[in-house]
């Protein structure tokens, strides 16, 4: 550009800015961002429920990428705005930072003012219809990529199916309430790489909201697969704790539950101690999952530790250990913390961490007082909990030396790296990748196939320890896990430093069979429990080796599924030679490089944590102590996972 002056400055009016940089508003334009649209609409319904006006929400996944969300709240106003001379419904759907949540007169508790709402959903939808019910009448307006089609329309409630616009005629009213809101939209394929909503993904988030809001019933249906779930939990977060800890043996029979309200905050938590060596703590602020914690979590942990430590000292139970640390009070804990405040201040665009400083003191005071009162009232339960915590403290002190042995070496110093590691030559972690390979045979092939400049190979000897059933002492005594921790370079748990990660791509490469899937699960359990930030940082991947090699004449194709194999054989006709790869070791180095390791041709599946609560529960069920929940899960999901393509 030859000149840079005032003529180069642009003002993107209305919703144009949202369509120009959608990632700024919803995080991404992949499946995660797609489902964020649904959550934004449902969050408005939840706000209506918290305010006392909505009892039912219906979510229907329809054909051709449509989704319809209905509630029996008050609905968005449809009268003309006195200042802007436009229907309030149209303003809310088209103007950024518009709505009734700014002065706290209509909604006292909301998810925070962050500029993302139904108007952003409208901007990123190919089509959207907003319908407001008022008795026997329906007021609706439709939009195309955020632009109003023709203004507000008033019809009789029974005449929806008679409308010419398919965005409206496709609405199926579920509720017979006097008032309500229906948002039906179709994500814009110009924006999103995927526009078909996932029932399982939405179900996980809706279940979470139903636990947090026992006053509401959420009905979810998929018209394509005919799946349907009604979510309502009278027990609220107490039932949530039982759900999360389903795979563990509990130390005491029932979860503890506290609900207190001050002038500045509503604090609710439920907790239960188990024999697990991990902590599950799900924290929320105004129904928003604060996956990175924040001041409310710090206050809860401090209050819990103080109450337990004081009780142990008063009962003279601290024997054989120096003291009770915070991590001891959290081992085996399954807890849900939900705080509601008027002006939440979140750190970062993703709202993953609460920053309100006064909240820490409020939550700590309430937690400490409740726990001390409970302990004095139920000393038998208190003794069970404190004995569990002291057991954790003894294990912690015994494992201190083991932890010291695996503290990371310098990223540039491979002198302390395990001998089985075939390291790469680059010292740039952003370029470096390590393949964790099943067995010495496949490891040997991978070492021959790799690009030595940026690809490292770590062969595993058999299956690593299931860390879900082991404490730190046993885990860190396992040689394979110690090798893994050493090559990562980050240390683990509370000492983890993601900036010291030696390889920015950690690629799990196992056989495409049951044993390979089990090894992947064991490795994911280790990463999730000991180095979760490496997963959330997007550094863990699955390699996707092919199942078949098909050759006809000089033409060779590699195939990843049975269905794909059948399609190719049908296209090629007869005389094709099919080779089934039973394991990575059956490939020669050239084949392994071409299909699975070459960045130009390979397929990688990135491991993400879409729903931390559901991930915690699944790890506890699949890798935990109890057999019956695992058997039940397999029986219920066997058909659904038979053809999963990792």
Q: Which residues are catalytic?
A: 438, 511, 513, 515
Q: How many CB atoms lie within 10 A of CB 644?
A: 7
* Distance from the Cα of residue 128 to its chain's centroid: 27
| Gap between the Cα atoms of 608 and 390, Å rounded | 34
363 contacts 339 by C-beta, under 8 angstroms: yes
φ/ψ (deg, to 5) at 284:
-140, 150
Are 295 and 354 in contact by the 8 Å Cβ rule? The answer is yes
Tokens of 44: 């408005």
Phi and psi at residue 545, in whole multiples of 5°? -70, 150
Helix, strand, or coil (residue 262)? coil
User: In degrees rounded to 5, what are phi and psi of residue 67?
Assistant: -140, 140
Distance of CA 325 to the CA centre of its chain: 29
For the beta carbon of residue 125, count every other beta carbon within 10 angstroms.
27
Closest CA to 374 of 269, 241, 277, 278: 269
Cα-atom radius of gyration of the chain, to the nearest Å?
Answer: 27
Place of tokens 């809860």: 300
Q: Are 122 and 15 in contact (CB under 8 A)?
A: yes
On whether the CB atoms of residues 507 and 434 are closer than 8 A, the answer is yes
The encoded tokens of residue 247 equal: 């795979």
From CA 639, how far away is CA 624, in angstroms rounded?
Answer: 22
Concatenate the DSSP letters of all residues of 111-153 into one string: S---S-SHHHHHHTEEEEEEEEEETTEEEEEEEETTEESS--E
Task: Assess contact for 156 and 137: CB atoms under 8 A.
Answer: yes
What does the alpha-carbon distance between residue 56 and residue 49 come to, in Å, rounded to a whole number? Answer: 8
**Is there a contact between 408 and 489 (Cβ–Cβ < 8 Å)?**
yes
Q: Is the alpha carbon torsion for 208, 213, 217, 223 positive or negative? A: negative
Cα torsion through 390, 393, 397, 399, rounded to 10:
120
Report d(CA 401, CA 108) in Å as an integer: 51
CA distance 461 to 482: 13
For residue 452, how far is the Cα from the chain centroid? 35
Where is 267: in which H helix or E strand? strand 266-273
Coil, strand or helix at 492 = coil
The tokens for 319 are: 């024997």
Question: What is the Cα–Cα distance from 98 to 100, expressed in whole angstroms?
Answer: 7
- 309 neighbors 303 (Cβ within 8 angstroms): no
- Measured distance CA(11)–CA(24) in Å, rounded: 16
């Amino acid at each position: 550009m030859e000149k840079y002056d005032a003529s180069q400055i642009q003002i993107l009016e209305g919703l144009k800015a949202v369509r120009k940089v959608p990632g700024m508003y919803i995080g991404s334009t992949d499946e995660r961002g797609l489902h964020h649209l649904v959550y934004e609409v449902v969050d408005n319904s939840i706000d209506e429920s918290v305010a006392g006006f909505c009892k039912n929400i219906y979510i229907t996944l329809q054909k051709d990428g449509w989704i319809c969300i209905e509630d029996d709240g008050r609905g968005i106003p449809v009268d003309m705005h006195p200042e802007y001379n436009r229907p309030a419904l149209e303003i809310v759907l088209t103007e950024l930072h518009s709505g009734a949540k700014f002065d706290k007169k209509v909604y006292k508790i909301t998810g925070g003012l962050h500029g993302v709402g139904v108007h952003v959903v409208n901007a990123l939808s190919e089509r959207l219809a907003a319908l407001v019910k008022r008795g026997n009448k329906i007021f609706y307006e439709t939009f195309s990529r955020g632009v109003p089609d023709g203004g507000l329309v008033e019809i009789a409630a029974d005449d929806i199916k008679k409308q010419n616009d398919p965005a409206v005629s496709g609405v199926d009213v579920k509720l017979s309430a006097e008032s309500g809101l229906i948002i039906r939209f179709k994500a814009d394929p110009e924006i999103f790489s995927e526009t078909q909503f996932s029932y399982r993904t939405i179900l996980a988030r809706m279940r979470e909201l139903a636990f947090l809001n026992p006053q509401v019933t959420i009905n979810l249906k998929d018209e394509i697969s005919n799946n349907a779930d009604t979510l309502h939990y009278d027990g609220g977060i107490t039932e949530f704790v039982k759900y999360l800890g389903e795979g563990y043996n509990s130390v005491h029979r029932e979860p503890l539950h506290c609900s207190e309200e001050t002038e500045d905050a509503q604090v609710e938590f439920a907790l239960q101690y188990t024999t697990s060596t991990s902590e599950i703590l799900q924290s929320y602020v105004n129904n928003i999952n604060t996956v990175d914690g924040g001041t409310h979590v710090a206050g809860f942990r401090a209050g819990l530790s103080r109450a337990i430590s004081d009780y142990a000292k008063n009962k003279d139970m601290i024997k054989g250990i120096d003291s009770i640390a915070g991590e001891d009070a959290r081992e085996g804990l399954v807890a849900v913390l939900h705080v509601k405040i008027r002006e939440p201040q979140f750190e970062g665009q993703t709202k993953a961490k609460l920053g309100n400083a006064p909240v820490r003191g409020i939550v700590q005071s309430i937690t400490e007082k409740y726990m001390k009162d409970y302990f004095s009232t139920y000393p038998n339960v208190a003794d069970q909990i404190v004995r569990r915590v002291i057991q954790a403290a003894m294990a912690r002190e015994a494992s201190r030396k083991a932890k010291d042995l695996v503290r990371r070496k310098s990223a540039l110093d491979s002198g302390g790296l395990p001998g089985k590691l075939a390291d790469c030559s680059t010292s740039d972690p952003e370029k470096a990748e390590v393949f964790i390979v099943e067995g010495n045979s496949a490891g040997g092939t991978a070492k021959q196939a790799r690009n030595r400049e940026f690809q490292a190979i770590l062969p595993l000897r058999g299956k690593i320890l299931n860390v879900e059933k082991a404490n730190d002492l046993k885990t860190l005594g396992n040689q394979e896990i110690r090798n893994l921790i050493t090559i990562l370079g980050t240390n683990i748990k509370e000492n983890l430093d993601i900036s010291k990660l030696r390889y920015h791509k950690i690629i799990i490469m196992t056989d495409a069979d049951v044993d390979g899937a089990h090894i992947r699960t064991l490795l994911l359990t280790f990463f999730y429990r000991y180095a979760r930030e490496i997963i959330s940082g997007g550094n863990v991947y699955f390699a996707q080796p092919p199942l078949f090699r098909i050759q006809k004449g000089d033409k060779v194709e590699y195939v990843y599924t049975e269905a794909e194999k059948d399609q190719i054989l049908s296209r090629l006709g007869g005389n094709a030679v099919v080779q089934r790869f039973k394991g990575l070791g059956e490939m020669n180095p050239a084949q392994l490089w071409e299909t699975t390791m070459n960045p130009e041709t390979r397929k990688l599946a990135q491991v993400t944590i879409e729903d931390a609560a559901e991930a915690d529960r699944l790890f506890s069920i699949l890798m935990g102590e109890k057999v019956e929940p695992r058997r039940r899960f397999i029986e219920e999901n066997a058909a659904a996972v038979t053809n999963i393509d990792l």
